[in-house]
Structure 1
Amino acid sequence: MMPHEIPDIEPLLKRLTLANTRRTYRQLIERAERESWSYGMFLSVLVGEEVAHRRQTRIHRLTHRAGFPFVKTIDEFDFSFQSTLRLNLLGSILSPDFITDGRNLILLGKPGRGKTHLAVAVAYRHIQNGFEALFVTAAKMIDQLSAAARDGQLSAILPKFTHPPLLVVDELGYLSYGNDAANMLFHVVNDRYLNGRSMIFTTNKKLTEWGSVLHDGDLAAAIVDRVLERGRVILLDGPSMRSRHLALDHDTASMLPVEPDRISGNYRPDFPGHRPPLEPPKS
Protein backbone atom coordinates (compact mmCIF):
# COMPACT_ATOMS: atom_id res chain seq x y z
CA MET A 1 0.00 0.00 0.00
CA MET A 2 1.35 3.44 -1.00
CA PRO A 3 1.92 5.94 1.86
CA HIS A 4 -1.27 7.94 1.13
CA GLU A 5 -3.42 5.17 -0.25
CA ILE A 6 -6.70 4.82 1.62
CA PRO A 7 -7.35 1.21 2.64
CA ASP A 8 -10.60 -0.42 1.57
CA ILE A 9 -12.23 -1.37 4.85
CA GLU A 10 -15.83 -1.19 3.62
CA PRO A 11 -16.42 -4.98 3.95
CA LEU A 12 -15.37 -4.79 7.59
CA LEU A 13 -17.54 -1.73 8.27
CA LYS A 14 -20.49 -3.42 6.55
CA ARG A 15 -20.03 -6.49 8.73
CA LEU A 16 -20.09 -4.23 11.80
CA THR A 17 -23.20 -2.42 10.43
CA LEU A 18 -21.41 0.95 10.61
CA ALA A 19 -23.40 2.42 7.74
CA ASN A 20 -22.53 6.07 8.28
CA THR A 21 -18.83 5.33 8.79
CA ARG A 22 -18.82 3.43 5.47
CA ARG A 23 -20.01 6.59 3.74
CA THR A 24 -17.71 9.06 5.45
CA TYR A 25 -14.44 7.40 6.45
CA ARG A 26 -12.57 8.24 3.22
CA GLN A 27 -13.44 11.93 3.46
CA LEU A 28 -12.49 11.96 7.13
CA ILE A 29 -9.13 10.34 6.38
CA GLU A 30 -8.40 12.99 3.74
CA ARG A 31 -9.44 15.77 6.12
CA ALA A 32 -7.33 14.29 8.92
CA GLU A 33 -4.26 14.23 6.67
CA ARG A 34 -4.82 17.82 5.50
CA GLU A 35 -5.31 19.13 9.03
CA SER A 36 -2.71 16.87 10.68
CA TRP A 37 -5.12 15.30 13.14
CA SER A 38 -3.78 12.96 15.79
CA TYR A 39 -4.95 9.37 15.75
CA GLY A 40 -7.05 10.08 18.80
CA MET A 41 -8.71 13.08 17.15
CA PHE A 42 -9.52 11.09 14.02
CA LEU A 43 -11.01 8.22 15.99
CA SER A 44 -13.04 10.59 18.16
CA VAL A 45 -14.59 12.35 15.13
CA LEU A 46 -15.24 9.07 13.32
CA VAL A 47 -17.02 7.47 16.27
CA GLY A 48 -18.84 10.69 17.20
CA GLU A 49 -20.35 11.03 13.74
CA GLU A 50 -21.50 7.42 13.77
CA VAL A 51 -23.19 7.89 17.15
CA ALA A 52 -24.87 11.13 16.04
CA HIS A 53 -26.11 9.50 12.84
CA ARG A 54 -27.56 6.55 14.75
CA ARG A 55 -29.29 8.87 17.19
CA GLN A 56 -30.91 10.86 14.38
CA THR A 57 -31.95 7.66 12.62
CA ARG A 58 -33.55 6.38 15.83
CA ILE A 59 -35.38 9.68 16.42
CA HIS A 60 -36.71 9.62 12.86
CA ARG A 61 -37.86 6.00 13.21
CA LEU A 62 -39.55 6.52 16.59
CA THR A 63 -41.20 9.75 15.40
CA HIS A 64 -42.68 7.95 12.42
CA ARG A 65 -43.81 5.03 14.60
CA ALA A 66 -45.43 7.35 17.18
CA GLY A 67 -48.24 8.28 14.78
CA PHE A 68 -48.19 12.04 15.39
CA PRO A 69 -50.67 14.04 13.26
CA PHE A 70 -47.81 16.52 12.82
CA VAL A 71 -44.41 17.11 14.38
CA LYS A 72 -44.09 20.19 16.59
CA THR A 73 -41.42 21.20 19.07
CA ILE A 74 -41.54 23.13 22.31
CA ASP A 75 -39.64 25.96 20.61
CA GLU A 76 -42.52 26.36 18.16
CA PHE A 77 -45.17 26.73 20.87
CA ASP A 78 -46.32 30.34 21.29
CA PHE A 79 -46.41 30.94 25.04
CA SER A 80 -47.34 34.61 24.57
CA PHE A 81 -51.02 33.68 24.29
CA GLN A 82 -51.03 31.87 27.65
CA SER A 83 -51.71 33.90 30.78
CA THR A 84 -49.87 31.59 33.23
CA LEU A 85 -48.02 28.89 31.26
CA ARG A 86 -44.35 29.62 30.54
CA LEU A 87 -41.57 27.49 29.12
CA ASN A 88 -39.50 27.59 32.31
CA LEU A 89 -42.40 25.97 34.19
CA LEU A 90 -42.24 22.86 32.00
CA GLY A 91 -38.78 21.76 33.11
CA SER A 92 -39.84 18.67 35.04
CA ILE A 93 -42.24 17.62 32.28
CA LEU A 94 -39.52 17.78 29.62
CA SER A 95 -36.86 15.99 31.64
CA PRO A 96 -36.24 12.23 31.31
CA ASP A 97 -37.49 11.85 34.92
CA PHE A 98 -41.02 12.43 33.65
CA ILE A 99 -40.82 9.03 31.94
CA THR A 100 -38.59 7.13 34.35
CA ASP A 101 -40.80 8.18 37.29
CA GLY A 102 -44.01 7.26 35.46
CA ARG A 103 -45.52 10.73 35.71
CA ASN A 104 -48.67 11.87 33.91
CA LEU A 105 -50.11 15.06 32.49
CA ILE A 106 -53.58 16.32 31.62
CA LEU A 107 -53.76 19.30 29.25
CA LEU A 108 -57.13 20.97 29.74
CA GLY A 109 -58.69 23.72 27.69
CA LYS A 110 -61.19 24.74 25.07
CA PRO A 111 -60.58 23.84 21.42
CA GLY A 112 -57.78 25.65 19.62
CA ARG A 113 -55.65 26.45 22.70
CA GLY A 114 -52.66 24.39 21.57
CA LYS A 115 -53.23 21.27 23.68
CA THR A 116 -52.37 18.84 20.89
CA HIS A 117 -49.36 20.91 19.83
CA LEU A 118 -48.03 20.90 23.37
CA ALA A 119 -48.72 17.18 23.83
CA VAL A 120 -46.90 16.33 20.59
CA ALA A 121 -44.01 18.62 21.52
CA VAL A 122 -43.59 17.00 24.93
CA ALA A 123 -43.75 13.52 23.41
CA TYR A 124 -41.25 14.49 20.71
CA ARG A 125 -38.87 15.80 23.37
CA HIS A 126 -39.02 12.41 25.10
CA ILE A 127 -38.33 10.64 21.82
CA GLN A 128 -35.24 12.85 21.62
CA ASN A 129 -34.49 11.74 25.19
CA GLY A 130 -34.48 8.15 23.94
CA PHE A 131 -37.99 6.93 24.84
CA GLU A 132 -40.69 5.47 22.61
CA ALA A 133 -44.08 7.19 22.42
CA LEU A 134 -47.48 6.47 20.90
CA PHE A 135 -50.03 9.11 19.92
CA VAL A 136 -53.69 8.18 19.49
CA THR A 137 -57.03 9.95 19.72
CA ALA A 138 -59.31 8.79 22.50
CA ALA A 139 -62.01 7.87 19.99
CA LYS A 140 -59.68 5.74 17.88
CA MET A 141 -58.22 3.90 20.85
CA ILE A 142 -61.61 3.19 22.44
CA ASP A 143 -63.04 2.03 19.10
CA GLN A 144 -60.11 -0.35 18.53
CA LEU A 145 -60.34 -1.74 22.05
CA SER A 146 -64.12 -2.18 21.83
CA ALA A 147 -63.88 -3.98 18.49
CA ALA A 148 -61.16 -6.27 19.86
CA ALA A 149 -63.23 -7.01 22.98
CA ARG A 150 -66.23 -8.01 20.85
CA ASP A 151 -63.97 -10.40 18.91
CA GLY A 152 -62.44 -11.81 22.08
CA GLN A 153 -59.07 -10.25 21.20
CA LEU A 154 -58.77 -7.55 23.87
CA SER A 155 -55.70 -9.07 25.49
CA ALA A 156 -54.00 -9.21 22.09
CA ILE A 157 -54.43 -5.50 21.32
CA LEU A 158 -53.90 -4.07 24.81
CA PRO A 159 -50.06 -4.16 24.63
CA LYS A 160 -50.20 -1.72 21.73
CA PHE A 161 -51.43 0.92 24.19
CA THR A 162 -49.88 -0.30 27.44
CA HIS A 163 -46.27 -1.03 26.50
CA PRO A 164 -44.88 2.26 25.07
CA PRO A 165 -43.11 4.28 27.79
CA LEU A 166 -45.30 7.28 26.87
CA LEU A 167 -48.90 7.23 25.65
CA VAL A 168 -50.58 10.41 24.39
CA VAL A 169 -54.39 10.22 24.35
CA ASP A 170 -55.74 13.17 22.39
CA GLU A 171 -59.18 14.80 22.37
CA LEU A 172 -60.84 12.99 25.26
CA GLY A 173 -64.41 14.32 25.34
CA TYR A 174 -64.59 15.74 21.83
CA LEU A 175 -66.63 12.86 20.38
CA SER A 176 -69.24 10.50 21.79
CA TYR A 177 -68.24 6.97 22.76
CA GLY A 178 -69.98 3.65 23.23
CA ASN A 179 -71.30 2.52 26.58
CA ASP A 180 -68.16 0.48 27.25
CA ALA A 181 -65.82 3.48 26.86
CA ALA A 182 -64.94 3.76 30.55
CA ASN A 183 -64.25 0.05 30.79
CA MET A 184 -61.96 0.11 27.75
CA LEU A 185 -60.07 3.19 28.91
CA PHE A 186 -59.71 1.80 32.42
CA HIS A 187 -57.95 -1.31 31.08
CA VAL A 188 -55.26 0.90 29.54
CA VAL A 189 -54.92 3.39 32.39
CA ASN A 190 -54.83 0.78 35.12
CA ASP A 191 -52.19 -1.33 33.37
CA ARG A 192 -50.00 1.71 32.77
CA TYR A 193 -50.56 2.90 36.33
CA LEU A 194 -49.51 -0.46 37.80
CA ASN A 195 -46.38 -0.56 35.61
CA GLY A 196 -45.39 3.08 36.11
CA ARG A 197 -45.74 4.13 32.45
CA SER A 198 -46.44 7.76 31.60
CA MET A 199 -49.60 9.18 30.03
CA ILE A 200 -50.59 12.53 28.55
CA PHE A 201 -54.26 13.39 27.99
CA THR A 202 -55.68 16.36 26.14
CA THR A 203 -59.29 17.22 26.90
CA ASN A 204 -61.85 19.98 26.62
CA LYS A 205 -63.89 18.57 29.51
CA LYS A 206 -63.58 19.25 33.22
CA LEU A 207 -62.36 16.25 35.14
CA THR A 208 -65.71 16.13 36.94
CA GLU A 209 -67.40 15.69 33.54
CA TRP A 210 -65.41 12.61 32.50
CA GLY A 211 -68.07 10.40 34.06
CA SER A 212 -70.79 11.62 31.70
CA VAL A 213 -68.36 11.52 28.75
CA LEU A 214 -67.38 7.91 29.47
CA HIS A 215 -70.87 6.77 30.65
CA ASP A 216 -69.62 5.55 34.03
CA GLY A 217 -68.97 7.94 36.89
CA ASP A 218 -67.28 5.40 39.16
CA LEU A 219 -64.83 4.14 36.54
CA ALA A 220 -64.14 7.68 35.36
CA ALA A 221 -63.26 8.67 38.93
CA ALA A 222 -60.94 5.66 39.17
CA ILE A 223 -59.26 6.67 35.90
CA VAL A 224 -58.71 10.26 37.02
CA ASP A 225 -57.49 9.03 40.41
CA ARG A 226 -54.81 6.85 38.81
CA VAL A 227 -53.71 9.48 36.31
CA LEU A 228 -53.36 12.22 38.92
CA GLU A 229 -51.67 10.18 41.65
CA ARG A 230 -48.40 10.87 39.82
CA GLY A 231 -49.73 13.62 37.57
CA ARG A 232 -50.70 17.21 37.17
CA VAL A 233 -53.23 19.30 35.29
CA ILE A 234 -52.22 22.22 33.11
CA LEU A 235 -54.87 24.67 31.94
CA LEU A 236 -54.31 26.23 28.53
CA ASP A 237 -56.22 29.46 28.25
CA GLY A 238 -55.92 32.52 26.06
CA PRO A 239 -57.50 32.89 22.62
CA SER A 240 -58.02 30.07 20.18
CA MET A 241 -55.01 29.71 17.91
CA ARG A 242 -57.37 29.09 15.01
CA SER A 243 -59.88 31.92 15.48
CA ARG A 244 -58.17 34.49 17.71
CA HIS A 245 -58.57 37.10 14.97
CA LEU A 246 -62.35 36.94 15.54
CA ALA A 247 -62.21 37.75 19.30
CA LEU A 248 -64.75 35.05 20.12
CA ASP A 249 -63.11 33.69 23.25
CA HIS A 250 -64.33 33.68 26.82
CA ASP A 251 -62.66 32.93 30.12
CA THR A 252 -61.54 29.29 30.55
CA ALA A 253 -60.47 29.33 34.19
CA SER A 254 -63.82 27.86 35.26
CA MET A 255 -62.84 24.57 33.59
CA LEU A 256 -60.48 23.68 36.41
CA PRO A 257 -61.95 21.72 39.32
CA VAL A 258 -59.80 23.74 41.74
CA GLU A 259 -58.17 27.12 41.90
CA PRO A 260 -55.14 26.89 39.59
CA ASP A 261 -51.63 27.53 40.81
CA ARG A 262 -49.07 28.92 38.40
CA ILE A 263 -49.60 26.25 35.75
CA SER A 264 -51.30 23.30 37.37
CA GLY A 265 -54.76 22.34 38.49
CA ASN A 266 -53.14 20.89 41.61
CA TYR A 267 -52.25 22.82 44.72
CA ARG A 268 -48.70 21.48 44.75
CA PRO A 269 -46.28 22.72 42.08
CA ASP A 270 -44.48 19.38 41.85
CA PHE A 271 -45.84 15.98 40.91
CA PRO A 272 -47.70 14.71 43.99
CA GLY A 273 -47.55 11.27 45.46
CA HIS A 274 -51.34 11.15 45.87
CA ARG A 275 -54.21 12.66 43.94
CA PRO A 276 -55.29 16.09 45.24
CA PRO A 277 -58.89 16.71 46.26
CA LEU A 278 -61.27 17.94 43.59
CA GLU A 279 -62.44 20.80 45.77
CA PRO A 280 -60.13 23.42 47.29
CA PRO A 281 -59.60 23.24 51.03
CA LYS A 282 -61.76 25.64 53.01
CA SER A 283 -60.00 28.42 54.84
Structure 2
Amino acid sequence: RFKRSGLDERLSLADFDWRFNPKLPRSACFDLHTLKFIGEGANALIIGKPGTGKSHVAKAVAYQATLQGYDVRYLEADTEFARYALASTAERTELLKDWVAPDLLILDDLFLARRISEHAAEVLQAIVHQRYKLRRAIVITSNRVVQDWGKYLGDATMASTILDRLMHRCAMLEFEGKSYRLKEAAARIAITPESS
Protein backbone atom coordinates (compact mmCIF):
# COMPACT_ATOMS: atom_id res chain seq x y z
CA ARG A 1 0.00 0.00 0.00
CA PHE A 2 2.86 2.37 0.81
CA LYS A 3 4.54 1.63 -2.53
CA ARG A 4 1.29 2.16 -4.42
CA SER A 5 0.53 5.39 -2.55
CA GLY A 6 3.24 7.47 -4.23
CA LEU A 7 4.59 8.60 -0.84
CA ASP A 8 8.35 9.08 -0.80
CA GLU A 9 8.83 9.00 3.00
CA ARG A 10 7.23 7.52 6.11
CA LEU A 11 6.42 10.56 8.24
CA SER A 12 4.53 10.81 11.51
CA LEU A 13 3.21 13.65 13.63
CA ALA A 14 5.45 12.42 16.47
CA ASP A 15 8.59 13.52 14.59
CA PHE A 16 7.19 16.99 13.87
CA ASP A 17 8.68 19.97 15.77
CA TRP A 18 5.54 21.57 17.23
CA ARG A 19 7.59 24.02 19.34
CA PHE A 20 9.06 25.80 16.29
CA ASN A 21 5.68 27.29 15.24
CA PRO A 22 3.53 27.11 18.38
CA LYS A 23 0.50 28.71 16.66
CA LEU A 24 -0.03 25.76 14.27
CA PRO A 25 -3.44 24.03 14.69
CA ARG A 26 -1.92 21.04 16.48
CA SER A 27 -5.15 19.49 17.78
CA ALA A 28 -6.78 19.77 14.32
CA CYS A 29 -3.74 17.96 12.84
CA PHE A 30 -4.04 15.13 15.38
CA ASP A 31 -7.78 15.01 14.71
CA LEU A 32 -7.03 14.42 10.99
CA HIS A 33 -4.50 11.77 12.04
CA THR A 34 -7.35 9.73 13.60
CA LEU A 35 -8.56 9.26 9.96
CA LYS A 36 -12.20 9.65 11.01
CA PHE A 37 -12.67 12.09 8.13
CA ILE A 38 -11.90 9.33 5.57
CA GLY A 39 -14.83 7.23 6.80
CA GLU A 40 -17.03 10.35 6.69
CA GLY A 41 -15.97 11.18 3.13
CA ALA A 42 -14.82 14.59 4.35
CA ASN A 43 -11.90 16.74 3.15
CA ALA A 44 -9.14 18.89 4.60
CA LEU A 45 -7.60 22.09 3.26
CA ILE A 46 -4.22 22.92 4.76
CA ILE A 47 -3.39 26.47 3.70
CA GLY A 48 -0.43 28.59 4.75
CA LYS A 49 3.03 29.95 4.22
CA PRO A 50 5.80 27.86 2.60
CA GLY A 51 7.94 25.76 4.92
CA THR A 52 5.49 25.70 7.84
CA GLY A 53 4.89 21.91 7.74
CA LYS A 54 1.78 21.51 5.58
CA SER A 55 3.28 18.71 3.46
CA HIS A 56 4.69 16.96 6.55
CA VAL A 57 1.23 16.81 8.15
CA ALA A 58 -0.44 15.67 4.89
CA LYS A 59 2.19 12.94 4.37
CA ALA A 60 1.90 11.80 8.00
CA VAL A 61 -1.88 11.46 7.63
CA ALA A 62 -1.43 9.62 4.31
CA TYR A 63 1.16 7.23 5.79
CA GLN A 64 -1.08 6.54 8.80
CA ALA A 65 -3.91 5.77 6.37
CA THR A 66 -1.74 3.21 4.50
CA LEU A 67 -0.96 1.56 7.86
CA GLN A 68 -4.68 1.39 8.67
CA GLY A 69 -5.48 -0.43 5.41
CA TYR A 70 -6.71 2.49 3.29
CA ASP A 71 -5.88 2.86 -0.39
CA VAL A 72 -4.03 6.20 -0.69
CA ARG A 73 -2.63 8.31 -3.54
CA TYR A 74 -0.16 11.11 -2.83
CA LEU A 75 0.39 13.57 -5.71
CA GLU A 76 2.61 16.59 -6.02
CA ALA A 77 -0.28 18.43 -7.65
CA ASP A 78 1.42 20.71 -10.17
CA THR A 79 3.83 18.00 -11.38
CA GLU A 80 1.10 15.40 -11.85
CA PHE A 81 -1.31 17.84 -13.49
CA ALA A 82 1.44 18.86 -15.93
CA ARG A 83 1.96 15.15 -16.71
CA TYR A 84 -1.80 14.83 -17.28
CA ALA A 85 -1.78 17.79 -19.71
CA LEU A 86 0.88 16.05 -21.84
CA ALA A 87 -0.76 12.61 -21.76
CA SER A 88 -2.75 10.95 -24.54
CA THR A 89 -6.53 10.61 -24.19
CA ALA A 90 -6.21 6.96 -23.10
CA GLU A 91 -3.52 7.84 -20.52
CA ARG A 92 -5.68 10.69 -19.18
CA THR A 93 -8.59 8.31 -18.64
CA GLU A 94 -6.30 5.96 -16.68
CA LEU A 95 -4.80 8.78 -14.59
CA LEU A 96 -8.22 10.18 -13.70
CA LYS A 97 -9.44 6.70 -12.73
CA ASP A 98 -6.35 6.25 -10.53
CA TRP A 99 -6.98 9.60 -8.80
CA VAL A 100 -10.71 9.07 -8.22
CA ALA A 101 -10.56 5.45 -6.97
CA PRO A 102 -8.53 5.59 -3.69
CA ASP A 103 -10.03 6.09 -0.22
CA LEU A 104 -7.76 9.11 0.30
CA LEU A 105 -6.20 11.48 -2.23
CA ILE A 106 -3.50 13.97 -1.22
CA LEU A 107 -2.95 16.93 -3.57
CA ASP A 108 0.22 18.51 -2.22
CA ASP A 109 1.33 22.05 -3.06
CA LEU A 110 -1.62 22.94 -5.30
CA PHE A 111 -0.96 26.13 -7.29
CA LEU A 112 2.74 26.10 -6.44
CA ALA A 113 3.38 27.49 -9.92
CA ARG A 114 0.40 29.87 -9.53
CA ARG A 115 -1.49 29.47 -12.83
CA ILE A 116 -2.27 25.93 -13.88
CA SER A 117 -3.14 24.87 -17.43
CA GLU A 118 -6.69 24.56 -18.71
CA HIS A 119 -6.31 20.75 -18.75
CA ALA A 120 -5.09 20.77 -15.14
CA ALA A 121 -8.01 22.97 -14.08
CA GLU A 122 -10.45 20.62 -15.81
CA VAL A 123 -8.96 17.50 -14.23
CA LEU A 124 -8.99 19.14 -10.78
CA GLN A 125 -12.69 19.90 -11.22
CA ALA A 126 -13.36 16.33 -12.42
CA ILE A 127 -11.47 14.80 -9.47
CA VAL A 128 -13.25 16.94 -6.89
CA HIS A 129 -16.68 16.40 -8.49
CA GLN A 130 -16.35 12.61 -8.83
CA ARG A 131 -14.81 12.09 -5.40
CA TYR A 132 -17.52 14.28 -3.84
CA LYS A 133 -20.24 12.09 -5.38
CA LEU A 134 -18.48 8.94 -4.13
CA ARG A 135 -17.78 10.52 -0.69
CA ARG A 136 -14.05 9.92 -0.95
CA ALA A 137 -11.68 12.08 1.08
CA ILE A 138 -9.23 14.66 -0.29
CA VAL A 139 -6.48 16.53 1.54
CA ILE A 140 -5.13 19.59 -0.26
CA THR A 141 -2.12 21.64 0.80
CA SER A 142 -1.47 25.04 -0.75
CA ASN A 143 0.41 28.30 -0.18
CA ARG A 144 -2.50 30.10 -1.90
CA VAL A 145 -5.54 31.40 -0.02
CA VAL A 146 -8.81 30.03 -1.38
CA GLN A 147 -10.05 33.53 -2.29
CA ASP A 148 -7.37 33.61 -5.03
CA TRP A 149 -8.07 30.18 -6.55
CA GLY A 150 -10.19 31.69 -9.33
CA LYS A 151 -7.12 33.64 -10.47
CA TYR A 152 -4.91 30.55 -10.54
CA LEU A 153 -7.55 28.46 -12.30
CA GLY A 154 -8.24 31.26 -14.75
CA ASP A 155 -11.96 30.76 -14.13
CA ALA A 156 -13.86 32.14 -11.12
CA THR A 157 -16.96 29.98 -11.75
CA MET A 158 -14.88 26.80 -11.87
CA ALA A 159 -13.12 27.83 -8.65
CA SER A 160 -16.41 28.35 -6.83
CA THR A 161 -17.75 24.99 -8.13
CA ILE A 162 -14.60 23.21 -6.87
CA LEU A 163 -14.59 25.02 -3.51
CA ASP A 164 -18.32 24.44 -3.02
CA ARG A 165 -17.81 20.66 -3.16
CA LEU A 166 -14.50 20.62 -1.32
CA MET A 167 -15.71 22.74 1.58
CA HIS A 168 -19.11 21.14 2.09
CA ARG A 169 -17.59 18.64 4.54
CA CYS A 170 -14.16 20.03 5.29
CA ALA A 171 -11.60 20.84 7.98
CA MET A 172 -9.78 24.12 7.28
CA LEU A 173 -6.30 24.28 8.80
CA GLU A 174 -4.33 27.50 8.62
CA PHE A 175 -0.55 27.27 8.96
CA GLU A 176 1.13 30.51 10.01
CA GLY A 177 4.69 30.94 11.15
CA LYS A 178 8.33 30.71 10.13
CA SER A 179 9.81 28.35 7.56
CA TYR A 180 11.50 25.14 8.78
CA ARG A 181 13.49 25.00 5.56
CA LEU A 182 14.93 28.48 6.09
CA LYS A 183 15.77 27.57 9.69
CA GLU A 184 17.61 24.42 8.51
CA ALA A 185 19.42 26.34 5.76
CA ALA A 186 20.52 28.99 8.28
CA ALA A 187 21.78 26.24 10.60
CA ARG A 188 23.79 24.67 7.75
CA ILE A 189 25.32 28.03 6.83
CA ALA A 190 26.22 28.66 10.48
CA ILE A 191 28.19 25.40 10.73
CA THR A 192 29.95 25.68 7.38
CA PRO A 193 33.59 26.54 8.11
CA GLU A 194 34.65 29.76 6.45
CA SER A 195 37.05 29.27 3.59
CA SER A 196 40.32 31.07 4.10
TM over 0.5: yes
Superposed CA RMSD? 2.0
In structure 2, what is the Cα distance between the partners aligned to 1:219 and 1:171? 19
Query: Which fold has the larger relative contact order, with Cα–Cα distance below 8 Å and residues 6 or more apart in sequence?
Result: 2
Structure 1 residues 179, 86: closer, same or farther in 2, change over 3 A? closer
In structure 2, what is the Cα distance between the partners aligned to 1:204 and 1:88? 21
Structure 1 position 229 matched with structure 2 position 149:
no
2:27 alignment counterpart: 88
The residue type paired with residue 238 of structure 1 is: G
2:98 alignment counterpart: 160
Query: What CA deviation, in whole Å up to 9, does each residue of 1:110-153 have, x standing for no partner?
Result: 111111111100111111222111111111332233334x5355
Structure 1 residues 245, 91: closer, same or farther in 2, change over 3 A? closer
In structure 2, what is the Cα distance between the partners aligned to 1:152 and 1:132? 23
- What is the CA distance between 1:82 and its match in structure 2? 2.7
| Structure 1 contact 74–118 (Cα < 8 Å) conserved | yes
Higher strand content, 1 or 2? 2
Equivalent position SS for 1:209? helix
| Structure 1 contact 123–168 (Cα < 8 Å) conserved | yes
Aligned residue runs from structure 1 range 1-283, under 5 A: 62-148=1-87, 151=89, 153-175=91-113, 176-244=115-183
TM-score normalised by length of structure 2:
0.85
Query: What CA deviation, in whole Å up to 9, does each residue of 1:201-232 have, x standing for no partner?
Result: 11000101111111111111111111111112
Q: Which runs of 5+ in 2 are unaligned?
A: 187-196
Q: Which runs of 5+ in 1 are unaligned?
A: 1-61, 248-283
Structure 1 residues 235, 72: closer, same or farther in 2, change over 3 A? same
Percent pairwise identity: 29
Equivalent position SS for 1:106? strand
Runs of 4+ more than 4 Å apart: none
In structure 2, what is the Cα distance between the partners aligned to 1:152 and 1:128? 32
Structure 1 residues 152, 123: closer, same or farther in 2, change over 3 A? closer
The residue type paired with residue 141 of structure 1 is: E
- What is the CA distance between 1:162 and its match in structure 2? 0.3
In structure 2, what is the Cα distance between the partners aligned to 1:187 and 1:124? 25
Larger radius of gyration: 1
1:10 alignment counterpart: none
In structure 2, what is the Cα distance between the partners aligned to 1:191 and 1:145? 17
Report the count of equivalent residues.
185
| Structure 1 contact 79–86 (Cα < 8 Å) conserved | no
TM-score normalised by length of structure 1:
0.60
